């Protein structure tokens, strides 16, 4: 494994969740992954994809336990490892530990928040405080992503397939911003910034508009969120979520304020907009969460786009197989 690609440690922790959509994820996640930009980074990505496929046979129980381990893993010692571009990839596939990039995790948090807001699987009026707090979190992420310029990039690439696939463990987001600042590299995206500067404002909230999509997937959710047999529902789950995000993306892009937009002045509208819940009770039962490792070393932008296309191609092949 060529060195200098990225500080990567793939552990048994996050790996099992790679099974779901790990491959599809690579398409969207690729820009962040290949932040390294050079061939070694790309190779690492491929390696991880294969690793993910290998581990796809791991059971749900294992995934559950691993997610719980994740928290501890990320608290300890991740600070130094995660964004360290210098470390070599150690040993065999089994020996490396996955660290999702900050951006990927942020995206995952965003997706999770949107799902929380949309699910209206209730007879009782939803908790307004909770909805407002989630919506504020979504806004924060959106603002930060707009500043980063990552917002455009994500949304030109996604084809509606991605959202669940991109859900990753977001524990890294619990770390203080000071710790993150030490390792965070956003330079990889500067190339994209230039391309998409013009469209930023309009596109910023494609996935944010929930105006009428809440009603549509309502019936889907009742099936989707029966978490009894997550393995079996996995396929349905992905499809349903895809549908939500497709309908979202088809809406005329406004801003996150669409979440609160009113048809008339009654409370009922906010009610519709902000209904949402997630009925997971067990901690660590992060079905939707996945982790993805990525090299996040300083970008060398020159090869970036070509790498991206190649990766897409490779990913497609892997998906077919």
Partner 1 sequence: MSHKQAGGPPGESAVDWCLYQLNGAAEFEVSEADIISTVEFNHTGELLATGDKGGRVVIFQREPESKNEPYNQGEYNVYSTFQSHEPEFDYLKSLEIEEKINKIKWLPQQNAAHSLLSTNDKTIKLWKITERDKRPEGYNLKDEEGKLKDLSTVTSLQVPVLKPMDLMVEVTPRRIFANGHTYHVNSISVNSDCETYMSADDLRINLWHLAITDRSFNIVDIKPANMEDLTEVITASEFHPHHCNLFVYSSSKGSLRLCDMRASALCDKHSKLYEEPEDPSNRSFFSEIISSVSDVKFSHSGRYMLTRDYLTVKVWDLNMETKPVETYQVHDYLRSKLCSLYENDCIFDKFECAWNGSDSVIMTGAYNNFFRMFDRNTKRDVTLEASRESSKPRAILKPRRVCVGGKRRKDDISVDSLDFTKKILHTAWHPTENIIAIAATNNLYIFQDKVNSEMH
Chain residues that interact with partner 1, rule: CB under 8 A: 67-68, 71-72, 74-76, 106, 109, 112, 123-125, 127-130, 132-133, 135-137, 140-141, 169-171, 173-178, 257-262, 267-271, 277-278, 280-286, 288-289
Q: Which is nearer to partner 1, 285 or 305 (CB)?
A: 285
Minimum distance from residue 75 beta carbon to partner 1 (Å) = 4
Minimum distance from residue 134 beta carbon to partner 1 (Å) = 8
Q: Which is nearer to partner 1, 122 or 317 (CB)?
A: 122
Minimum distance from residue 114 beta carbon to partner 1 (Å) = 13
CA 86 – CA 88 distance, rounded (Å): 6
Give the position of tokens 């796809």: 56
Residue of 138, 165, 171, 118 whose CA lies nearest to 288:
165
Minimum distance from residue 123 beta carbon to partner 1 (Å) = 5
Q: Within 10 A of 306 (CB to CB), how many other CB atoms are there? A: 10
Give the position of tokens 């029966």: 226
The 10 Å CB-count burial string (b at 16+, else e) for 182-216 is ebbbbebbebbbeebeeeeeebbbbbbbbbebbee
Please answer whether residues 13 and 47 qualify as being in contact, where contact means their C-beta atoms are separated by less than 8 angstroms: no
Minimum distance from residue 110 beta carbon to partner 1 (Å) = 9
Q: Which is nearer to partner 1, 34 or 109 (CB)?
A: 109
Give CA 42 to chain center in angstroms.
19
Both structure tokens of 126: 């939803």
Q: Which is nearer to partner 1, 132 or 318 (CB)?
A: 132
Q: Which is nearer to partner 1, 2 or 122 (CB)?
A: 122
CA separation, residue 263 to residues 11, 133, 271 (Å)? 49, 22, 11
Cα separation of the two ends of the chain: 24
Minimum distance from residue 107 beta carbon to partner 1 (Å) = 12
Q: Which is nearer to partner 1, 112 or 311 (CB)?
A: 112
Both structure tokens of 159: 């084809």
């Amino acid at each position: 494994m060529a060195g200098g690609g990225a500080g990567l440690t793939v552990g048994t922790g996050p790996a099992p969740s790679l099974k779901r959509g790990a491959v599809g994820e690579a398409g969207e996640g690729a820009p962040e992954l290949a932040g390294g930009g050079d061939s070694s980074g790309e190779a690492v990505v491929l390696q991880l994809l294969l690793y993910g496929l290998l581990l796809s046979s791991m059971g749900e129980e294992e995934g559950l336990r691993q997610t719980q381990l994740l928290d501890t893993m990320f608290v300890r010692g991740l600070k130094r490892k995660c964004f360290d571009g210098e470390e070599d990839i150690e040993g065999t596939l089994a020996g490396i530990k996955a660290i999702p990039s900050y951006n990927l995790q942020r995206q995952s948090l965003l997706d999770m928040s949107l799902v929380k807001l949309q699910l209206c699987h209730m007879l009782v009026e939803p908790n307004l405080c909770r909805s407002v707090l989630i919506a504020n979190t979504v806004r924060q992420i959106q603002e930060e992503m707009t500043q980063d310029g990552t917002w455009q990039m994500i949304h030109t690439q996604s084809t509606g397939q991605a959202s669940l696939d991109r859900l990753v463990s977001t524990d890294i987001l619990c770390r203080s911003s000071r710790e993150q600042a030490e390792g965070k590299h956003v330079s990889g995206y500067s190339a994209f910034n230039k391309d998409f500067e013009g469209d930023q404002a309009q596109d910023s909230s494609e996935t944010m508009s929930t105006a009428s999509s809440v009603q549509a997937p309502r019936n889907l959710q009742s099936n989707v969120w029966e978490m009894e047999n997550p393995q079996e529902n996995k396929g349905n789950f992905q499809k349903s979520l895809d549908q939500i995000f497709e309908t979202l993306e088809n809406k005329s892009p406004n801003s996150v304020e669409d979440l609160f937009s009113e048809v008339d002045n009654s409370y009922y509208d906010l009610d519709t907009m902000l209904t949402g819940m997630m009925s997971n009770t067990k901690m660590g039962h992060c079905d939707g969460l996945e982790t993805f490792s990525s090299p996040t070393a300083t970008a060398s932008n020159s090869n970036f786009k070509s790498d991206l296309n190649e990766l897409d191609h490779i990913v497609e092949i892997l998906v077919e197989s």
